[in-house]
């Protein structure tokens, strides 16, 4: 060992170290004695704190602390901690010479000699105000975002771990899904999915798609804590770190149940409107066809009745009878079509449907067969409504027969009545009010939705050829809707069928128009008809029973005839004529100008339709086409004084 050389080297190292420490500007590096008084001062300390060495050496380091920290004993605790634990490290506010504050990062290390005796403390301070402010701004931003997310109640916003466990939960999630934060954090988000979706792997597919594509958006049923379902709109975004690694997923869910129900309600309303418009159009077409067909039948029927009065052989009579039966069947068919088209005259009277069904029960039971039971249950009180009783019975029988045919292997048919209160639009287009519901239900083969949607269309049938015309349900539909009600069919394959008939509960009176019958006292008829074939056949029919006939093809010609002839006793006129005045206008002209001449009106259209189009015609005798000889004779007698 060469002391001189060692001493020279040590002094040189100390000088270099002192120079290094003194020159550091980004850190305040200085020494304290064991009591905390400043023993050294570097350039960084001067820059941070504003004191030059001559001003600060010998002063206690607590002068850099805020008044609050000094009163709390923070400086003393810092030295004590450093002495006892070998180091003290903290962040906090410090005070410069000019009184301004800065945020400091502080490290205090004890300095001891070889014997372990405390010589003082090394104190390093760094001004990290900018970083602190940035961190504080970030913290505030994060806090504001947290408050924002937590405050949202219309959306469930939460975060998932990469494996799908829930790691955060907002108020909207709690409101929509029913779980408190303490109940759901840590659980897998698949608990919100239906059993069907979970079994099909929908939750895993959702996360896999979001991870691969960055985002996924879906709608579907989700399950709340209480087990109820809601329709959810879901967005899942993948969250990645700066290195691209998957950190987790942000999941936003909105309860769209009300919107879905509103859309479904609109769709149902549109479907009901479409169905109503379709049935109205079919009804108008059907009514028009039936009207024209009636005119054709009138020609044939009138001709046959004329021939029947002139036939000379048994064969003639037999052939005429056969043809007349065919005409009758055709007339029956047109009546069915008019019933569907809601153009069939109804005689509505106040009835208790319970009593009607009870009286008709034997016929309903005869309509069944072996293996088919019929259970009839009536409402507790009277089921009063305005209805044409014979047509109601026919409609009910039709439904029971249909139900029986849907039970090839036997089963049960239930017929029941009930008084119900409906809100507006709850059943078809029915207004709010009280209704009598008649239900015919079976547990038979049922019908798919596409068949149900067409079940009441005329000529639509699923039965084998020759086993049904397809007019049964259409007649029921036409009769019930013409009576102010509605028909609802509920069915599904292998789940049976229920047909509900809704009729307004009786509240008012129905005015019936009586027709006075007297003896025949006319000789000449002015027959007004725009269809040439109908006009010819009708003229022969009138002549065959002893009347003289004068013809006209429209109201204008009839007016001329009335002005030139004085022997006209009765005007027999079609109501609907394509040109000029209608038959009703002609009738009113005759009544006002020639009060002694009687008027009979005829049409294939029902009275209800004619009243709607032309006004009230109850003042005139009316006969429906196609009319028979007995119909004409009865009408002519009714006009006699």
* pLDDT per position as a tens digit, 558-576: 999 998 988 898 899 998 8
Share of the chain above pLDDT 70, in %: 72
Predicted confidence at residue 629, as pLDDT, reads 57
Question: What distance in Å separates the CA atoms of residue 483 and residue 505, rounded to the nearest whole number?
Answer: 11
Helix then strand count (H, E) for the chain reads: 21, 20
DSSP for residue 193: B
Among the listed residues 638, 612, 106, the one whose alpha carbon sits nearest the alpha carbon of residue 345: 612
Question: What distance in Å separates the CA atoms of residue 330 and residue 333, rounded to the nearest whole number?
Answer: 5
| Lowest-confidence region among 28-32, 267-271, 600-604 | 267-271
Residues 73-94 pLDDT 10s: 999 999 999 999 999 999 999 9
Domain boundaries, the chain: 15-128, 152-255, 280-340, 349-504, 524-639
CATH 2.40.30.10 correct for 152-255 = no
Residue 32 has pLDDT above 80, yes or no: yes
Predicted confidence at residue 151, as pLDDT, reads 61
CB-neighbour burial class of residue 399 (10 A; exposed 0-12, middle 13-18, buried 19+)? buried
| Lowest-confidence region among 22-36, 124-138, 249-263, 511-525 | 511-525
Query: 15-128 has which fold?
Result: Beta-Lactamase (3.30.450)
Question: What distance in Å separates the CA atoms of residue 417 and residue 200, rounded to the nearest whole number?
Answer: 45
Residue 153 has pLDDT above 80, yes or no: no
Highest-scoring range by mean pLDDT, 274-278, 294-298, 408-412: 408-412
CATH 3.30.565.10 correct for 349-504 = yes
| Lowest-confidence region among 28-32, 276-280, 316-320, 342-346 | 342-346
Sign of CA dihedral 264, 266, 267, 271: positive
Banded pLDDT at 162 (limits 50, 70, 90): very high
Banded pLDDT at 158 (limits 50, 70, 90): confident
Q: What is the pLDDT of the chain when averaged over all its residues?
A: 79
Question: What distance in Å separates the CA atoms of residue 75 and residue 81, rounded to the nearest whole number?
Answer: 10
CB-neighbour burial class of residue 79 (10 A; exposed 0-12, middle 13-18, buried 19+)? buried
Residues 353-409 pLDDT 10s: 998 898 878 777 766 777 888 999 988 888 899 887 877 887 887 788 888 888 888
Question: Please, which residues have CB within 8 angstroms of residue 581's CB and are 6 or more apart in sequence?
Answer: 554, 555, 556, 589
CATH 3.30.530.20 correct for 524-639 = no
C-alpha torsion 346→623→554→336, nearest 10? 50
Crossing angle of helices 555-564 and 583-593, in 10° steps, is 20
Banded pLDDT at 510 (limits 50, 70, 90): very low
CB 94 within 8 A of CB 125: yes
Among the listed residues 52, 48, 42, the one whose alpha carbon sits nearest the alpha carbon of residue 20: 42
Residue 464 has pLDDT above 70, yes or no: no
CB 194 within 8 A of CB 231: no
Run of H or E residues at 148? helix 129-151
Residue 144 has pLDDT above 60, yes or no: yes
Predicted confidence at residue 121, as pLDDT, reads 94
Banded pLDDT at 5 (limits 50, 70, 90): very low
Predicted confidence at residue 237, as pLDDT, reads 92
Q: 621 versus 541: which is more confidently predicted?
A: 621
Residue 537 has pLDDT above 80, yes or no: no
Question: Please, which residues have CB within 8 angstroms of residue 54's CB and are 6 or more apart in sequence?
Answer: none
| Lowest-confidence region among 139-143, 569-573, 623-627 | 139-143
Question: What distance in Å separates the CA atoms of residue 235 and residue 51, rounded to the nearest whole number?
Answer: 59
Question: Please, which residues have CB within 8 angstroms of residue 410's CB and are 6 or more apart in sequence?
Answer: 370, 371, 372
Number of CB atoms found within 10 A of residue 625's CB: 22
CB 342 within 8 A of CB 283: yes
Residues 434-453 pLDDT 10s: 999 999 999 988 888 888 87
Does the fold of domain 152-255 match that of domain 15-128? yes
Output phi, psi for 235, to 5 deg: -125, 130
Structure tokens at 396: 């009910």
Residue 637 has pLDDT above 80, yes or no: no
Structure tokens at 147: 């408050």
Among the listed residues 400, 392, 404, 411, the one whose alpha carbon sits nearest the alpha carbon of residue 351: 392
CB 229 within 8 A of CB 194: yes
Question: Tokens 């010609």 sit at which residue?
Answer: 557
Question: What distance in Å separates the CA atoms of residue 302 and residue 319, rounded to the nearest whole number?
Answer: 15
Number of CB atoms found within 10 A of residue 328's CB: 14
Share of the chain above pLDDT 90, in %: 32
Residue 512 has pLDDT above 60, yes or no: no
């Amino acid at each position: 060992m060469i002391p001189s050389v060692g001493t020279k080297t040590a002094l040189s190292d100390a000088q270099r170290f002192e120079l290094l420490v003194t020159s550091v500007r980004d850190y305040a590096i200085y020494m304290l004695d064991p009591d905390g008084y400043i023993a050294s001062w570097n350039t960084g300390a001067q820059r941070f704190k504003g004191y030059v060495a001559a001003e600060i050496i010998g002063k206690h380091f607590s002068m850099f602390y805020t008044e609050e920290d000094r009163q709390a004993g923070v400086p003393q605790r810092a030295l004590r901690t450093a002495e006892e634990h070998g180091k003290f490290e903290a962040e906090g506010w410090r005070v410069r010479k000019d009184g301004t504050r800065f945020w400091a990062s502080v490290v205090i290390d004890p300095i001891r000699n070889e014997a372990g005796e405390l010589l003082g403390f090394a104190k390093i301070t760094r001004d990290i105000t900018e970083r602190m402010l940035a961190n504080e701004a970030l913290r505030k931003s994060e806090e504001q975002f947290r408050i924002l997310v937590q405050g949202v109640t219309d959306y469930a916003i939460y975060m998932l771990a990469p494996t799908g466990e829930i790691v955060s939960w907002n108020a909207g999630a709690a409101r929509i899904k029913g779980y408190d934060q303490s109940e759901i954090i840590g659980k897998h988000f698949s608990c919100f999915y239906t059993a069907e979706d979970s079994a099909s792997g929908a939750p895993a597919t959702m996360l896999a798609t979001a991870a691969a594509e960055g985002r996924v958006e879906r709608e579907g049923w989700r399950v709340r804590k209480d087990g109820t379902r809601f329709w959810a709109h879901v967005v899942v975004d993948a969250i990645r770190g700066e290195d691209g690694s998957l950190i987790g997923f942000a999941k936003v869910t909105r309860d769209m149940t009300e919107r879905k129900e509103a859309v479904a309600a609109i769709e149902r309303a549109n479907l009901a409107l479409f169905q109503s418009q379709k049935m109205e159009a079919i009804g108008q077409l059907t009514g028009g066809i039936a009207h024209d067909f009636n005119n054709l039948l009138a020609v044939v029927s009138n001709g046959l009745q004329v021939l029947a009065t002139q036939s000379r052989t048994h064969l003639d009579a037999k052939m005429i009878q056969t043809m007349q039966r065919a005409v009758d069947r055709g007339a029956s068919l047109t009546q069915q079509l008019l019933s569907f088209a809601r153009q069939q005259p109804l005689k509505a009277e106040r009835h208790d449907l319970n009593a009607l069904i009870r009286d008709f029960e034997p016929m309903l039971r005869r309509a069944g067969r072996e293996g088919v039971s019929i259970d009839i249950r009536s409402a507790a009180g009277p089921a009063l409504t305005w209805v044409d009783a014979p047509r109601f019975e026919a409609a009910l029988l039709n439904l029971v027969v249909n139900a029986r045919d849907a039970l090839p292997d036997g089963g049960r048919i239930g017929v029941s009545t009930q008084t119900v209160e409906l809100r507006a639009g709850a059943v078809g287009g029915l207004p709010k009010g009280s209704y009598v519901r008649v239900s015919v239900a079976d547990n038979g083969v049922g019908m798919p939705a596409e068949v149900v949607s067409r079940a009441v269309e005329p000529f639509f049938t699923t039965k084998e050829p020759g086993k049904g015309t397809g007019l049964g349900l259409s007649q029921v539909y036409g009769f019930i809707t013409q009576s102010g009600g509605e028909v609802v069919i509920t069915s599904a394959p292998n789940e049976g069928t229920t047909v509900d008939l809704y009729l307004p509960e009786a509240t008012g009176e129905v005015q019936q128009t009586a027709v006075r019958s007297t003896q025949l006292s006319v000789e000449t008829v002015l027959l007004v008809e725009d269809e040439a074939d109908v006009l010819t056949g009708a003229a022969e029919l009138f002549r065959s029973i002893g009347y003289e006939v004068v013809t006209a093809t429209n109201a204008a010609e009839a007016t001329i005839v009335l002005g030139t002839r004085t022997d006209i006793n009765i005007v027999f006129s079609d109501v609907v004529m394509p040109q000029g005045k209608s038959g009703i206008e002609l009738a009113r002209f005759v009544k006002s100008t020639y009060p002694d001449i009687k008027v009979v009106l005829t049409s294939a259209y029902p009275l209800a339709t004619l009243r709607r189009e032309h006004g009230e015609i109850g003042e005139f005798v009316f006969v429906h086409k196609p009319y028979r000889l007995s119909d004409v004779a009865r009408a002519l007698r009714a006009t006699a004084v």
